[in-house]
Amino acid sequence: MIGAAAFDIGFMVVSGHPPWMRVSAARQACLLRLFEMPEAARRPLWKRNFAPENRHLYRGWFPLESSPARNREGYEIGPDILRSLPADGDILNETTPLPPAGTVPDDWAAVARGYFADMETLGGAILDALSRCLDIDPAIFRDAFRDGISTLRLLHYPGETAPASADDVANRFVEIDGARVEQTARPHVDSGLLTILAQCGVGGLQALARDGSWCDVPVCDDGFAVNFGGLMELWTGGRIRATRHRVLGRGRTRHSIPFFFEPRPSTRIGPLPIAGAAAFTPFLYGDHLWSLTTRFPENFGLGPLRPPREPETLAAVPRLS
C-alpha cells in the first residue's frame, strides 16, 4: 500500500503506529506550547536574519515578520536534541537554540527528544517498505539516513493575517467557489526526500491530483500525512512521485508539525540500481539542501556562508519538479 501510494500520487495518510511511539496528540500539544511563550522570551530564539544579535542561523525560530503576509511562523529543531553532532564547522550541523527553563513545560525538551527519535523510526520503516517495492537493498537508504540532519519543525498559522499590500507575496490569494481564499503555503513540491506531517486537528492541507484538482488531505488524529519530495523523485528515477501541495487559510488558527527526514550532508546522491532509471551526475546532499533552503525567506542571504563542497557536481543536478 505504501508503494502504491508512492508510485501513483506521492501522497498518503498513515495511521495505527505502535502505542509505544512517543508521537501522540498530547505530546504534539506539549511541543506546540512553545507558541505560548511571552514575546520577550521568543527573540533569543529567532534566527540571526531576524535578530542580528543572535548567533544561530540555520536552526531556531523564524517569526511572523519573515513574510509581509505575516501568515506563518515556525521553530526548527535539529538532531542535536537527540545526539551529538560533528564539530566540523558545517552550518548544517548547527545546534538548536532551546527555550529557557520556565518558558515551556518542564518536560518539553524530553518530549521533543522522544518525538524526534520516533519520527526517525517511522521514516526508517517507510523507507524499508519502499526498498522492498523498488527491489533495492534496504541498506542503501538505511546507510544514507544514519545520523542524518532531519528537521522537526513546529508551525503556527494565525487566524488573522496581514492585509494585502504592494510588497505582498505573489499568488497569496486564490478564488475557490467564488470566495477569495488565502494560500498560507502556496503550491509547491518539497525539495527533499520524505516529509511526515502531523496536522494537529485542523485541516487546510491539499494535494494536487493527476486530473489537476485539489484534494483535501484527511486529518487523522492517530496518523500522519506523508509526501515525497523532488529529490526522492530524482533519486528513484521517477518511480516515486513528488506531489504539489498547498495549505489554505480558513480564518482560524492552525498548527502543524512536519518532520523532514534527511540524510547526512556527506551522503552522495546517485542513480539507484533501478531498471530504466535515468542516469545523472552524483552530488552531495548537503550541497543540494543548502542551495535550495537559502531561497526561502527565513534563510535569505545565507548562501555564501556555506560554499558547496563539490560545486561542479551541484551544477549538474537536474532541475527538480
- What pLDDT is recorded for position 106? 97
3-class secondary-structure state, position 125: helix
- What pLDDT is recorded for position 31? 98
Q: Are 34 and 99 in contact (CB under 8 A)?
A: yes
- Among 10, 4, 65, CA closest to 321: 10
- What pLDDT is recorded for position 231? 94
Tell me which amino acid residue 56 is.
H
- What pLDDT is recorded for position 166? 66
- What pLDDT is recorded for position 27? 97
DSSP labels, 54-123? ---SSSEEE-GGGSTT---EEEEE-GGGTS----S--GGGPPPPPPPTTSS-TTHHHHHHHHHHHHHHHH
Q: Torsions phi, psi of 256, nearest 5?
A: -150, 160
Q: Are 15 and 223 in contact (CB under 8 A)?
A: yes
- What pLDDT is recorded for position 221? 82
Q: Are 43 and 60 in contact (CB under 8 A)?
A: no
- Among 250, 194, 255, CA closest to 225: 194
Dmax (CA) of the chain: 56
Residue ranges for the chain with pLDDT beneath 50:
none
Q: Torsions phi, psi of 292, nearest 5?
A: -95, -40
Torsion of CA 7, 9, 11, 15, to 10 degrees: -70
CATH numbers and ranges of domains, the chain: 2-164+173-314 (2.60.120.330)
- What pLDDT is recorded for position 320? 65
DSSP state of 281: -
Q: Are 290 and 307 in contact (CB under 8 A)?
A: no
- What pLDDT is recorded for position 318? 79
Chain segment 3-17, per-residue pLDDT in tens: 999 999 899 999 988
**Could you give the strand order of the β-sheet that contains 151-157, starting from the edge strand earlier in sequence?**
11-15, 223-228, 194-198, 254-261, 151-157, 73-77, 60-62
- What pLDDT is recorded for position 321? 54
